[in-house]
DNA sequence: CGTTTGTTTTGGATCATTCAAAATAACGGT
DNA sequence: ACCGTTATTTTGAATGATCCAAAACAAACG
């Protein structure tokens, strides 16, 4: 639960200064792999009560710019952040509670990466979001 | 350019009352197949200057609820609306100017609809967004 | 230990969207 | 054609998530 030296390494390797709030944000992201800025702020606040929400936004923006974190934006929901950046994976979002799970790219040779017609676009990335109902929501009466 | 009777039919068939603003929104959507509420409001305003932005939002929400329109929400951009609802298609978004093109589902039997691991979710839909640079943006110096 | 430069804080601004109440208009019946 | 019911539009304001900017502060390097 306490800030591991590993988080400092991560931050430093990304070319950023190591600060308490940044370490706290990294730690929060490690225990909550798909969290919004606000959720992360809650987590961070528990350990560093003086940290501002803006600092969390700052840290996240810096992380994303440095390639340390990635953001996803499920339709109609606040932006979520994750540390898993090295591979190309997708997401499965519960349309009821918003819970998010990682999904490795679909079977075989990433079929989703190649649209049938490109309309002349230089395609750079494919983003896939699966929507469904998670086991918990399916079990609960609504 | 003027409101066709067809738009009235569409609206009525959806179980909604036919009004000038709704017809104008449908017409605007027909000529701008991936437009935001605000862009549609601009269009509608040209013909019906008294129409409010709120009415456009209302009409769009009603259309979506009635299955007459669909909304998409490219990350970091305002929500877009389209009338093409009958098939399962995806989108190609220009990461520079935001231009959107439709993309039919990838070759063969909708491979994108089946994630490798479902984590127990009852998967209902798959949303695919391709990001790239459109021909115009590729040509312009920036 | 001091300087430099990056980071955090504070307070406010912005955009897209939504809410709510009152005014208005569409549609079906008469 | 007119009325009444009920949906729709308008108006004005509120909200939530995110961003901007200036001043206070702190990490890293020598």
* Cα A48 to Cα A51: distance, rounded to the nearest angstrom: 6
Task: Please state whether B67 falls in left (phi above 0), alpha (psi between -120 and 50) or beta.
Answer: left
DSSP string, A22-56: HHHHHHHHHHSTTEEHHHHHHHHHHH-TT--HHHH
Backbone angles phi, psi at B116, to 5 degrees: -70, -45
Count CB-CB contacts under 10 A for residue A76: 11
Put simply, the answer to whether B128 touches A132 (Cβ < 8 Å) is: no
Name A131's bridge partners: A93, B125
* Cα B2 to Cα B119: distance, rounded to the nearest angstrom: 50
DSSP state, residue A106: P
The pLDDT score that the predictor gives to residue A42 is 98
Residues of B in contact with A103 (CB under 8 A): 115-117, 119
pLDDT per position as a tens digit, B56-114: 999 999 999 999 999 999 999 999 999 999 888 899 999 999 999 999 866 444 555 67
Share of chain A above pLDDT 90, in %: 77
* Cα B49 to Cα A56: distance, rounded to the nearest angstrom: 43
User: Is residue A127 within a helix (H) or strand (E), and if so which, with residue range?
Assistant: strand A122-133
User: Is residue A94 within a helix (H) or strand (E), and if so which, with residue range?
Assistant: strand A90-94
Q: What does the longest C-alpha to C-alpha distance in chain A come to? A: 51
**What confidence tier does A1 reach under pLDDT thresholds 50, 70, 90?**
very low
A73, A78, A102, A132, best to mutate vs chain B, most B CBs in 10 Å: A132
User: Is residue B102 within a helix (H) or strand (E), and if so which, with residue range?
Assistant: strand B100-104
Q: Which CATH number fits domain A5-72: 3.60.20.10, 1.10.10.10, 3.40.640.10, 3.30.420.40?
A: 1.10.10.10
pLDDT per position as a tens digit, B47-57: 999 999 999 99
pLDDT per position as a tens digit, A62-86: 999 999 999 999 999 999 999 999 8
pLDDT per position as a tens digit, A10-55: 999 999 999 999 999 999 999 999 999 999 999 999 999 999 999 9
Average pLDDT of the segment spanning B3-13: 84
A105, A113, A130, best to mutate vs chain B, most B CBs in 10 Å: A130
CATH code 1.10.10.10 region(s) in chain A: 5-72
Name A124's bridge partners: none
Put simply, the answer to whether A133 touches B126 (Cβ < 8 Å) is: no
CATH code 3.30.1490.190 region(s) in chain A: 87-139
To which CATH superfamily is domain A87-139 assigned?
Answer: Ferric-uptake regulator, C-terminal dimerisarion domain (3.30.1490.190)
Q: Which nucleotides of C are covered by protein (CB under 7 A)?
A: 6-12, 15-20, 25-27
């Amino acid at each position: 639960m306490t800030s591991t030296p590993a988080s400092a390494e991560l931050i430093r390797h990304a070319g950023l200064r190591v600060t308490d709030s940044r370490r706290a944000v990294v730690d929060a992201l490690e225990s909550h792999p798909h969290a919004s800025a606000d959720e992360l702020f809650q987590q961070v606040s528990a350990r560093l009560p003086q940290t501002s929400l803006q600092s969390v936004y700052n840290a996240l923006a810096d992380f994303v710019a440095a390639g340390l974190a990635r953001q996803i934006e499920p339709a109609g929901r606040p932006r979520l952040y994750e540390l898993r950046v090295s591979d190309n994976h997708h997401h499965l979002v519960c349309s009821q509670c918003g819970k998010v799970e990682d999904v490795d790219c679909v079977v075989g040779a990433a079929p989703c990466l190649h649209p049938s017609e490109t309309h002349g676009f230089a395609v750079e990335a494919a983003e896939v979001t699966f929507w469904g109902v998670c086991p918990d929501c399916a079990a609960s009466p609504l």
